[in-house]
Structure 1
Amino acid sequence: MFILFFIFLFTYANSQSQLYNQEHEILLNIKSHFQNPSFLSHWTKSNTSSHCSWPEIVCENDSITSLSMINTNISQTFPPFLCDLKNLTHIDFQYNYFPYEFPTSLYNCSKLQYLDLSQNLFVGNIPNDIDRLGRLQFLSLGANSFSGDVPRSIGKMKSLKNLQLYQCMFNGTIADEIGDLFNLETLLLFSNGMLPRTKLPSSFTKLKKLKIFHMYDSNLFGEIPETIGEMVALEDLNLSGNFLSGKIPNGLFTLKNLSILYLYKNNLSGVIPDVIEAFELTDLDLSMNNLTGKIPDGFGNLEKLTSLGLFVNQLSGEVPVSIGRLSALTDFIVFQNNLSGNLPQDFGRFSKLETFQIGSNSFKGNLPQSLCYHGRFVGLTAYDNSLSGELPKSLGSCSSLQYLRVENNELSGNIPNGLWRSMNLTTISISENKFTGELPERLSPSISRLSISYNRFSGRIPNGVSSWKNVVVFDASNNFLNGSIPSELTSLPQLTTLLIDHNKLTDRIPSNIISWKSLISLDLSNNQLSGEIPDAICRLPSLNMLDLSENKISGQIPPQLRRLTNLNLSCNYFTGRIPSHFENPVYNRSFLNNSGLCADTLVLNLTLCNSGTARRSDSSTPKAMIIILVLVASLTVFLLIFSIISFYRKRKRGLKRTWKLTSFQRLSFTKSNIVLSMSEDNIIGSGGFGSVYRVALDDGLGYVAVKKIRGNSRKLDQKLVDSFLAEVEILSKIRHNNIVKLMCCISSDDSLLLVYEYHEHQSLDRWLHKKSKTSAASSTVHHNIIDWPKRLHIAIGAAQGLCYMHNDCSPPIVHRDVKTSNILLDSQFNAKVADFGLARILIKPEELATMSAVAGTFGYIAPEYAQTIRVNEKIDVYSFGVVLLELTTGKEANHGDEHSSLAEWAWRHIQIGTDIEELLDEDAVEPSNLIEMINIFKLGVMCTSTLPASRPSMKEVLKILIGCRDPQANAEKIVDIYDDAPLLKNLKWEKQVEYSE
């Protein structure tokens, strides 16, 4: 027996030694397969330490059971021999760059229970025989590029407890058989926006053990099954951002374990169920639906509720008093409903309230006085109600407050002491109330927007206004402010909007306004200002609106005052001749009631400047003058006859048709000026739509660009008409310094003309890719290469235009054809986003819109758009990312072969670890800008991520572009924006000096 036992021990030890050696050799082969990466430098043949001590390895009984390589930059193929590690139960390779299809070699891992391949670059379908991994309890394939169906075979994996298939590119069906996974506790199917419209499989409600179910942003429609109330284990349910309709099932609020319920941004209707038994609820968001009726009284019994979101619905009635007494409540958000009555006064007293948003309702009475009782309060929005009384005094000592919006109410009294100087406050918007008092000498340096118009503020604008350095908007219209405008007001460098009209201000307009370089709108009307217009106003580079009407300003109108979009100098004491460039019907209401003004024409309905002197000189004109006049008259008649002949010749050549002009700006030209000036010599560009012309204006002060869309056989192509109408619809509604200005459209039966402001530097691609075009209209040949500072300036400008379209337009606008040829440059290389023929207005904010066909340009088209014809703002982010790659590399968007593009080329180099410096445009890179160019290249790569959810928004892109001017100060902030992005830790941001990662 002893001998047999000894033989057994010897045999076991020998087999264990063989197993160890075998597994050690496999690990070294894995390292070699991954091309010996530095993070595996400790994987050696040395016998000094067991591989079971390596951090990537977990062993049981001296055999490897777990292998983890998370976020390690692996870009090679999956090792086909990995499952030679026969005892593997756990594999975690998330956040890498594994390419190609699902590795079916994993089927050889017969003991595998845990598999995480999320956040990689896998493509193709999930295999139909994936159930061969029958022992799996955890499977995560999320954030890859898997497409096709979620296969039925997954329903056979009976051991699964956690299934994660989020953020993929599925465009088929989701198998009902998932409902057969009776042991499933977590199911994540969110952000699968490429799925066709699909109903929530009713079989899912059979998952009695399911605790976490996320299927938001996944194109669900139809009603939520009533049987969802049978999912008794549910703790976290998120079905937001879909197209669900019908009523909220009664059983949903009876789930005893439910703590998080998100149904926001759907089409749900009807009343909220009044049977509330889900007492574990902490987060409840039913916002952005069509819900009606009252807020259930039962919500006041949810003692653990921290956040209640009901905004943008049609709820009515009063807020239950009991909700204000909830001890855990931090966020109460019910704006844009039909709620009424008095607000419960206990809000903030019993809980650490942070946000209280009740705007656009019909509330009356006082605001709750204890909003900042616990010192955590961040923001109050109560605009568009009928609230009265004073602001809560506690707000004056609320250091956590960041924004205050109570405009359009009946609030009164003085602003609480300390509120003006609240150190975290950025926005004070209290317009259209009955507030009194005087403006403060000191203002918190964090405040950027101060809107106090239509109140009863009095006194002077304080000299301490010079300390308001970060104010961008100052609107104090329609108050009782008096005294002179202090010169200190002119020292605010960030100011874009200054509205102090309809007050009692006196004396002159300050002349030293050189700091107002960002000022766009200036309204000083309806005051008692005197003196002359300061010459400095004429030199404000960004000024677009100037209103000085209803004052006592005198003197001549400075000839240097340029043409503005909005100009009103009426009802003053101006004298002299109107500058010739204002003799335009556009300004026919800009100079009214100035008795001393005259004009050279009758266009402005003013006295003619030479009407009196002409009559006095009739009788005393010398004979020589008569002869000269006769000669001039003869010459004039000859030129007139010649012009008439030319005019009729042109008409015979095809200008006999009737033209209709629709104006969107004040114009300094007529439709005949445009129609008669389009000749082949004036062509500066062409495309599938037709040609673009440069047309000189009649006043000789500039040019316009005219896009001509013309059909064949006297009939316009319907696609061109649709493109024309899309561009007119969008550009006629939006105004931004970085979006091309549409001045008017002119149409006939077979031709459509769009008239824009002209930009002499034309499009970015002609500079960036060394393209040239010469003609009579375009004599410039672009040989000069724009340097990096100009490129970054152009990128910021274009990003500002797109950011405005995505975030500030309501509803948002998606361009769909962002490219370098659609970015125009003015004389200062300011970027203007142009060509909106393919643009679309989204149906609802952030909602996907379905197009009938793919449109765009190869190299710029986002992959999801090409595959699913679905549109949201992220396709513009992708295209803009390509523009950033062009700006940094100098290469064109179609760089590569017939199947690849610049974006794919850049991603490929990132995957293989190429030094980015080698990829940059040698014509632009300098030691001083190398870090900036590397950062912008990385930003371009992020923007062209395959998954839309992994791309930043344009607002985030703009923030990074601006921050890149100072990488040392902004590197960490830039990284923070992308904490959730798959590439974050692989595309680290460069910094001017070394810093700890």
Structure 2
Amino acid sequence: MTPPSPPHLLLLFVFIFLTSGANSQHFFTTERTTLLNLKQAWGNPPSLANWNSTSSTCTWPEVQCRNGSVTVLKLKTKELTGSVPPFICDLGNLENLILHDNFLTGEFPRVFYNCSKLIKLDISQNLFTGRLPDDIDWLSQLEALELGANNFTGDIPPEIGNLSALISLHLYQNLFNGTIPPEIGKLSNLEILGLAYNEFADPEIPSEFGRLNKLKVLWMPAINLVGKIPKSLSNLINLELLDLSLNKLEGEILPELFLFRKLDSVFLYNNNLSGKIPAVVQSLNLSQIDISMNKLNGSIPDDFGKLQKLEVLNLYSNQFSGQIPERISQITALRIFRVFRNNLTGELPPEFGLHSKLEAFEVSENKFTGKLPENLCAGGALTGVIAFSNNLTGELPRSLERCDRIITIQIYDNNFTGEIPSGIWTLSSISSLRLSGNSFSGELPSKVARNLSRLEISNNKFSGRIPPEISSWVNLNVFIASINMFSGEIPPEFTALSELTVLYLDGNSLSGELPSQIMSWNSLTILNLARNNLSGQIPASFASLQDLLDLDLSENQLSGQIPPQFTSLKLTALNLSSNKLTGRIPSSFDNMAYQNSFINNPSLCSTSRVSNLHNCFTKASHSNGFSPKIISMIIILSTIVLLAAVMSTLFMFRDYIKTKPKRIYTWKLTSFQKMDFTEANILSCMTEANVIGTGGAGKVYRIGVGQPHGYVAVKRIWNNKLDQNQENEFTSEVRILGSIRHSNIVKLLCCLSNENSKLLVYEYMVHQSLDKWLHGKKRKVEPGLVPGFVLDWPRRLQIAIGAAQGLCYMHHDCSPPIVHRDVKSSNILLDSEFRAKIADFGLAKILEKQKPGEGDMGYIVGSLGYFAPEYAYTSSINERIDVYSFGVVLLELVTGKEANDEDGDLNLAEWAWKHYGEGDSVVGALDREIKDPDTYMEEMSMVFKLGLICTSTLPSSRPSMKDVLEILKRCNPLDQLPEVMKQGRQEFDVAPLLERESYLTSYHESENILNTDA
């Protein structure tokens, strides 16, 4: 039995209990006060409305407690503004502080040094600036330091290597421009190191990194790495992900570098690596190898075949030679195989697809011979076969008839023979079948897959009649069947295809008359039936094809008159030559623009002597039996009338001629391209009737000059309207466009100038500018806009790729590089097939080395809504400003919105980031007018996210135009990340990093092959 406690001890216990309760209550009150003060200091964001003085702090979603005291503060994406207050460390037990993705400013907050128990600090994706402090090692207990996506500059302090407890270190997406400290190699506990997307001063990988024995993720793309990969990295025995992409590494990849026992992924693409792949690869856990877009050479190592867990093998865009090792085709896990654009030879291993569920097989642009592997689709998962531009022979494998998931087959420009297996025509998912440039034979099927939108079979040996059942090919958009042996009449049912835009049947043996009635060729823009045996008259119903831009019926047996209704057509190209047409040329075509359109039609006549045709007046006089006397009287009367008109004009201007001396302007012509017209063709047509646009400095004319140009666009600038800036713009545009040649940059044909004005003569773009097609209906009236026409997604993607190719050429292939500085949808012009061309170089800047003081611009250029945000604080010009502007164009293409049509103060880029940042579905941002959005949802979502990356506020985090172009070309879903990446995102909280930046490389892991080649 326990003796009773003395009374004084009992009183002591009561006192202690009451005192501790009071202290505890005071402690809790102090922490609530600190949190409420933080809320106020950060601008009282609405996201923290639940923080109040009545509820318990430990119940707030952003707060976690242990023993009643705050240990974790998660304030991710809360729209916090201002700086970090010094009293934040009054939270004495704070261990984890997450301030990720806000708008906090200032230099690195040294106040964190007072948080004595801090283990994890995440201030990534904010607006912090300046250098990291040299005494950062005061944070000695840190296990995770996340500083990515800020504006830190200078060197990474070597003292960071003293944070010996660090497990995760992220410094990605900053403005570091010094060296990479080798002292990081002292962090013996480090498992994740992210240095990506910085502008380091041409660093080499420190050999000391080989000491990081626990490292699982080494993430260092786009940081200007040079030199060779050090041998010491072979010591990283726990490495799971190695990403050294987008750098300048060189030299051979040594065999010992791949002795990692647990390496799951290797990313070395888009470098300038040279040398051979190692002959021995011992890393048997590898699931993905991507070393594409380098300058690697030599043969593909046979030991790749030992990697039985390998799922993705991307070796494309290199200089590999030799044959593909047989053992690679026997890998049981292989899903994606891409080796296109190399110098590979020999036959394709026949066991491809037999041992694995192969999804993508891309071997185009090599020198392969022999047959396609028979079992490519044995696993039932194949989505694409892309093998064009090789020397492949034999027949198509009949096993392809079972590929229900296949989307595209592209095998053009080979030596295939035989008939197309009947089941291929009706594959349920196929949308693109490109077979041109082979020796295929057989007849067209009566039925094809409902999804088939593009069929290219030109330069083959197909024969027989076009079946009337072709009317069931309802989604066919492009049909190119030139140079085959088709015969018989063109069935009227053919004209029922309402989606058809391009039709080539030239170079066949078609006969009979043209269809007299057009059912539904409402979208047709190109019709080429040349070099056949067609006869009869040209039906007047062809004049109903109001979208038609290019009509070629040459080298047939057509007779009768050209329908006068053709004057309503807006043709940019017309060829009716080498027929048996009679009568008068319609007035709208009786000019020099169409001088070669009617040759070899002996019975046609012209009133303007086009192409040396008969003069209609003379011909009519003789044919009606007029006597010479009547003809003489007509000539005399005409002469009298003409003289009277001349005399009247002379009298009217007599005083003017006497008082004002005649001034003759001598035109100087500077030619940049081969031309079949002279300045006289241009100057004679500079009339108000040909004006198609007016700007601040002059007018733009549409002038017909005949074939091959058809029309040209002439920009006239009056010298007396030019200020110094405009004079500079004119000089810039002439200098740039006159020196570059690219299919996606508008051609400057010549320049005419005299003392009075300047003329720039360009190729004419019949579909004018992209902004009219995207936003024309919102502006009520737009010249040239087809009523009710909406750009479908394939056309929009084609336009994006074309414009990206033009900008990529300017940035990466011109020496010195050219920055456009005014990229916008109104400066992207479209030709007759909606191919995009970059125009308006008046603001362009060539990045030549400037003398001191000459490199800055004295004024901001560009267009509202397309400005890169760094314009507000820097005058430095580089290619990243074009990338930002192009990102806005991508967002326009996907959303249909204008760059500045949003409510409030947000432009399109800001609206898109806000929409995405709030977690709203990307689907809700897409243009509702796009047809069949579900079919293209993955592509549209990809381009939307690419637009976000391009419009990042941090210039260094934007991709280059070369990367943008590759992503657009390989436009695939984003969710196929390597498994190790997914694990890293969950375990180490790098989701924001990978979600925001993985778009730059996601096309390397994508599973679906989409036909984006326009």
Q: Give TM-score, length-normalised by structure 2.
A: 0.76
Q: Provide, for residues 83-109 of structure 1, a one-character-per-residue CA deviation record: whole Å limited to 9, x for no partner.
A: 211111111232334345444432321
1:609 to 597, 608, 616: 616
Alignment coverage as a number of residue pairs: 900
The alpha-carbon deviation at position 585 of structure 1 amounts to: 4.4
Query: In structure 1, what residue type is equivalent to 2:735?
Result: L
Query: In structure 2, what residue type is equivalent to 1:456?
Result: K
Residue aligning to 1:23: 31
Matched, 1:386 2:391: yes
In 2, Cα distance between equivalents of 1:752 and 1:215: 51
Change beyond 3 A, Cα 1:669–1:632 = farther
Change beyond 3 A, Cα 1:611–1:364 = same
Residue aligning to 1:875: 884
1:410 to 407, 412, 415: 415
Residue aligning to 1:727: 737
Residue aligning to 2:990: none
Query: In structure 2, what residue type is equivalent to 1:160?
Result: L
Conserved 8 A contact 1:474-1:497: yes
In 2, Cα distance between equivalents of 1:262 and 1:696: 51
Matched, 1:182 2:174: no
In 1, Cα distance between equivalents of 2:875 and 2:116: 36
1:445 to 450, 464, 474: 450
Residue aligning to 1:564: 571
Whose relative contact order is higher, 1 or 2, with alpha carbons under 8 Å and at least 6 apart? 2
Q: Provide, for residues 763-821 of structure 1, a one-character-per-residue CA deviation record: whole Å limited to 9, x for no partner.
A: 9999x99xxxxxxxxxxxxx99999x999999999978962543465955674303588
Which range is displaced more, 902-911 or 528-537? 902-911
Query: In structure 2, what residue type is equivalent to 1:68?
Result: K
Conserved 8 A contact 1:554-1:572: yes
The alpha-carbon deviation at position 288 of structure 1 amounts to: 1.4
Which range is displaced more, 248-257 or 628-637? 628-637
The alpha-carbon deviation at position 955 of structure 1 amounts to: 12
1:112 to 115, 118, 130: 118
The alpha-carbon deviation at position 514 of structure 1 amounts to: 6.1
1:69 to 64, 75, 91: 75
In 1, Cα distance between equivalents of 2:521 and 2:311: 45
Residue aligning to 1:772: none
Residue aligning to 1:972: none
In 2, Cα distance between equivalents of 1:587 and 1:239: 57
In 1, Cα distance between equivalents of 2:319 and 2:836: 42
Conserved 8 A contact 1:527-1:550: yes
Change beyond 3 A, Cα 1:170–1:320 = same
1:162 to 147, 168, 173: 168
Conserved 8 A contact 1:395-1:419: yes
Conserved 8 A contact 1:764-1:823: yes
Matched, 1:505 2:510: yes
Change beyond 3 A, Cα 1:605–1:156 = farther
Change beyond 3 A, Cα 1:579–1:791 = closer
Conserved 8 A contact 1:508-1:529: yes
The alpha-carbon deviation at position 376 of structure 1 amounts to: 1.2
Conserved 8 A contact 1:457-1:479: yes
Alignment partner of 1:519: what SS? Answer: coil
The alpha-carbon deviation at position 546 of structure 1 amounts to: 1.7
2:239 to 234, 238, 258: 234
Q: Provide, for residues 692-726 of structure 1, a one-character-per-residue CA deviation record: whole Å limited to 9, x for no partner.
A: 23558699999954244979999x98885443132
Alignment partner of 1:20: what SS? Answer: helix
Pairwise mapping of residues 964-979 of structure 1 onto structure 2 (< 5 A)?
none
User: In angstroms, what is the RMSD of aligned CA positions?
Assistant: 5.3
The alpha-carbon deviation at position 212 of structure 1 amounts to: 0.9
Which range is displaced more, 653-662 or 135-144? 653-662
Which range is displaced more, 68-77 or 527-536? 68-77
Q: Provide, for residues 725-753 of structure 1, a one-character-per-residue CA deviation record: whole Å limited to 9, x for no partner.
A: 32345687348xxxx88665436899863
Q: Provide, for residues 666-700 of structure 1, a one-character-per-residue CA deviation record: whole Å limited to 9, x for no partner.
A: 8798356169879xx999444xxxx3235586999
Conserved 8 A contact 1:550-1:571: yes
In 2, Cα distance between equivalents of 1:551 and 1:434: 25
Conserved 8 A contact 1:407-1:431: yes
Conserved 8 A contact 1:460-1:481: yes
Pairwise mapping of residues 417-496 of structure 1 onto structure 2 (< 5 A)?
417-496=422-501
Conserved 8 A contact 2:268-2:291: yes
1:621 to 621, 630, 633: 630
In 2, Cα distance between equivalents of 1:831 and 1:97: 38
Query: In structure 1, what residue type is equivalent to 2:901?
Result: T
Which range is displaced more, 118-127 or 573-582? 118-127
In 2, Cα distance between equivalents of 1:942 and 1:90: 29
Residue aligning to 1:358: 363
In 1, Cα distance between equivalents of 2:903 and 2:551: 41
In 2, Cα distance between equivalents of 1:530 and 1:706: 43
Matched, 1:599 2:606: yes
The alpha-carbon deviation at position 369 of structure 1 amounts to: 1.3
Conserved 8 A contact 2:714-2:761: yes
Conserved 8 A contact 1:709-1:720: no
Conserved 8 A contact 1:226-1:250: no
**Unpaired runs of at least 5, structure 2:** 811-818, 849-853, 919-940, 972-992, 1000-1014
1:525 to 516, 526, 530: 530
Give the share of equivalent positions with the same residue, in percent: 39
Which range is displaced more, 291-300 or 441-450? 441-450
Which range is displaced more, 817-826 or 532-541? 817-826
In 1, Cα distance between equivalents of 2:658 and 2:768: 33
In 1, Cα distance between equivalents of 2:157 and 2:76: 27
Q: Give TM-score, length-normalised by structure 1.
A: 0.77
In 2, Cα distance between equivalents of 1:800 and 1:839: 25
In 2, Cα distance between equivalents of 1:128 and 1:141: 15
Conserved 8 A contact 2:92-2:115: yes
Alignment partner of 1:574: what SS? Answer: strand
Matched, 1:575 2:582: yes
Residue aligning to 2:980: none
Alignment partner of 1:323: what SS? Answer: helix
Residue aligning to 1:803: 800
Q: Provide, for residues 376-434 of structure 1, a one-character-per-residue CA deviation record: whole Å limited to 9, x for no partner.
A: 11111111112122222221111111211111112222323432222222211111222
Residue aligning to 1:926: none
Alignment partner of 2:174: what SS? Answer: coil
Conserved 8 A contact 1:391-1:415: yes
The alpha-carbon deviation at position 946 of structure 1 amounts to: 0.8
Matched, 1:634 2:643: yes
Change beyond 3 A, Cα 1:372–1:83 = same
Which range is displaced more, 698-707 or 31-40? 698-707
Pairwise mapping of residues 949-964 of structure 1 onto structure 2 (< 5 A)?
none
Query: In structure 2, what residue type is equivalent to 1:605?
Result: N
**Unpaired runs of at least 5, structure 1:** 770-782, 844-850, 896-900, 914-934, 961-977, 985-997
The alpha-carbon deviation at position 354 of structure 1 amounts to: 1.0
The alpha-carbon deviation at position 842 of structure 1 amounts to: 12
Pairwise mapping of residues 897-976 of structure 1 onto structure 2 (< 5 A)?
944-947=951-954
Query: In structure 2, what residue type is equivalent to 1:869?
Result: I
Conserved 8 A contact 2:821-2:844: yes
1:92 to 85, 88, 98: 98
Change beyond 3 A, Cα 1:955–1:728 = same
Conserved 8 A contact 1:745-1:754: yes
